[in-house]
Structure 1
């Protein structure tokens, strides 16, 4: 890979990297705005349109459906065309779609059907944007700095999501729920503007000669690419199983806290705020911990801790002390999730050829997004059949699955981030093969992991 002109030579210079700053600013604005919509749209449906519980569920379902249906197609398009243009198109579609809600409210024409259409279109535009955005980063910074870049992005996104929820509540109080969505409209316009100002070349297209090739052929190449590389296959499976377990838990988590543990809305907000702080802390600490202990051991320990963080929730009874315990556990859980997410995403981006970045990310998005609705339905069925607390126990047990997947893989002994890959050939045939393994023992024999770790000297930043 050829580094962009102002690619940093040291981690500290990331903040002086103009294109990286533009990328981070635009994406943080988008995350902030999305948090506004996530908070405001259900309020608008319930308070202004008198939506029933079933209608609210359908509204949520329509918003979550596009990633499961369109992620693979969006990834193939991002590898075929300009990623920046695809991001801007997605942002502008989202902005225009959301702007229709306050306009309809002013004209007294807003309906629940329109909100459902908006949720579906915005979800589809978000898939288009995210497929390109996730795969653009490796062309902005040198691959040796990807882990630090993802760390800063993850920390900023956690703060932006919390700020967006609070801003959504404030805008709703000041302007009403329909006009509050204008905050998200502005965020999409900021994201599009920042993306348009990025100047770094995107790297070689996967399919420079893609005319005449069908999109499903390119999608198939992405699926085979991930399947053939054991590192990509393992990390994608870890993602999908973690997402399914957390989706099952999250479906009933708020209900359990508010009803079974009699937690107030204020206390719930404080607990969620602690979780956001944990996510930021985990993302920011991941590169340092990976450098000291190795990415493999870091992910293994974090995945092992995650099921244990559910114990306070399962043992809790109403009371302030248990609320503090649940808040601390959520802080630790999301710190572990962010550390694993930042690390595994960086590994996948480093080892993937430039022309396959978007399709590789799309496979992971497709599996994780597809797992969530299924897990939510399973949670509802189990919650009705065996009760809420036993269902949470089932979800906790499912959190052991990604730990087992990683433990059975050679990646558990990965003691350093993979090295920088050479620029891949431009031909499509070369791109359907997994990226060559980096020079040196990037994935050592797990049996020898202990000896290798003791011999490691202090290394530079990943």
Structure 2
């Protein structure tokens, strides 16, 4: 038994010189880039090679979104009970195996839409397993003083990796075809698994004061995680902020591309440039989050970011069609919006990780994932219904007003005045496993 205080400290070490953090970051960035390749190639494969209808493409997207809403809580409970690295590797292996069936079936001319939907579900479930463990691994990987900087690096690199993966997916689809383009994502699974396996830091295992049954039920662990989050005002507030933001953005994002390309007559090239500016904004916001939090305080900084976000939607709502000036303005607004999202998101995740005990990290994150993931499909359906009933622009206006909800939630919480990152929870006795 080794107390937590005796673990190696990296508080004075650069994250880039922290080998395990570099391995973690490399593997996760590869995973994000690979997922973007699949998000690009899979719909193309369904439409061009399987003649999928609009409804079938929508169902394919829905199949991929379903596992996080159904399995996030279970994946979080498993990650807190077992080795997080082992769960990450298992998710990578299952995801790679499922995805590998697609290019094989395409080569044999036996690929069907049913198989694609099945692969989307299995791959989504594998990603939930992997992500629940990966997000909660970071607080045990680096010293507490490096958590915010670590999340900053992760958020920035992920934004760049997602954009790079989308462009790579488009290039591979053009060069190799959509089925063989998926080999890029399969390779990313392998890279992620290898990097995770090479992480050497021991994982903390809590030893509880109260007696625990030898074979605890998964449901009991899930309920414990829900009570834990609900019982901490800070965690509950930030979870509600995440969920309400996700719902509003889910409604907006469902119709955003359609509105830009059709109603505002934006060209595909200009659309791609706007998306690229958004990715740069997300990276910039994540990188500057620690400095902004130190200067203005985490609470005021997050509150300001949430207040700016609805304002960034205004150029979209008042823009004129086929106007270069408005296209530039919309691109700048998206840069600012995602910069705010990157700064606020990095900070709130760091706060949640800092105030959560080691044995509850995965379940705490799983509750947030469950609510945010469950909000997106509902928001997408609502956007489709409202867009048909009242029109696209009024629906986008409604989504803009919904962005005020997370602002109100945070403004009504004592977190709005938080001037420094919070203290960790009371130390618990821990042992370590490899």
Q: How far apart are the structure 1 equivalents of 2:137 and 2:267?
A: 42
Partner of 2:148: 147
What residue ranges of structure 1 are gaps of 5+ in the alignment?
428-462
For residue 383 of structure 1, what is the aligned residue in structure 2? 387
2:121 maps to what in 1?
120
Question: For the residues of structure 2 that align with 1:165 and 1:116, how far apart are their CA atoms?
Answer: 21
Alpha-carbon distance in structure 2 between the residues aligned to 1:387 and 1:309: 21
Which stretch shows the higher mean deviation, 76-85 or 208-217? 208-217
Please point out which of 416, 421, 424 is paired with 2:420.
416
1:360 aligns with 2:364: yes
Partner of residue 311, structure 1: 314
Q: Using a 3 Å threshold, how does the CA distance of structure 1 residues 9 and 426 change in structure 2: closer, same or farther?
A: closer
Q: Deviations over 1:145-164 (max 9, x none)?
A: 10000000000000000110
Are 2:275 and 1:263 aligned? no
Matched with 2:59 is: 58
Q: Is the 8 A contact 2:286 2:342 kept in 1?
A: yes
Aligned with residue 297 of structure 2, among 294, 297, 303: 294
> Aligned runs of 1:125-140 on 2, under 5 Å?
125-140=126-141
Summarize deviations over 1:421-445 as a string: whole Å, max 9, x none.
4422569xxxxxxxxxxxxxxxxxx
Q: Distance in 2 between matches of 1:373 and 1:302?
A: 25
Q: Distance in 2 between matches of 1:211 and 1:282?
A: 45
In the alignment, what sits opposite 1:279? 282
SS at match of 1:51: coil
1:339 aligns with 2:333: no
How far 1:210 moved relative to its partner? 5.2
Alpha-carbon separation, structure 1, partners of 2:397 and 2:337: 16
Cα root mean square deviation, aligned: 1.5
Q: Does the CA-based 8 Å contact 1:3-1:141 persist in structure 2?
A: no
Structure 1 residues 62 and 3: alpha-carbon distance in aligned structure 2, compared to 1, 3 A threshold = farther
- Tell me how far 1:382 sits from its aligned partner: 0.6
Cα deviation digits, residues 334-359 of structure 1 (max 9, x gap): 00011111000000000000000000
Once the two structures are TM-superposed, the CA of residue 4 in structure 1 deviates from its matched residue by: 8.5
Preserved contact between residue 144 and residue 420 of structure 1 (Cα < 8 Å) = no
Partner of 1:445: none
Correspondence for 1:236: 239
- CA 1:210–1:278 in structure 2 vs 1: closer, same or farther (change >3 Å)? farther
SS for the counterpart of 1:203 is strand
| Conserved? CA contact 2:206–2:429, under 8 Å | no
Taking the aligned partners of 1:414 and 1:290, their CA distance within structure 2 comes to 10
Cα deviation for residue 126 of structure 1 reads 0.4
CA distance in 2, matches of 1:354, 1:311: 42
The answer for the alignment partner of 1:246 in structure 2 is 249
What displacement does 1:211 show? 2.8
Once the two structures are superposed, what CA deviation does each residue of 1:215-238 show, in whole Å capped at 9, x if it has no partner?
111100000000000000000000
- Number of equivalent positions: 426
- CA deviation after TM superposition for structure 1 residue 2, in Å: 3.1
Give ranges in structure 2 of 5+ residues lacking alignment.
Answer: none
Separation in 2, partners of 1:3, 1:27: 28
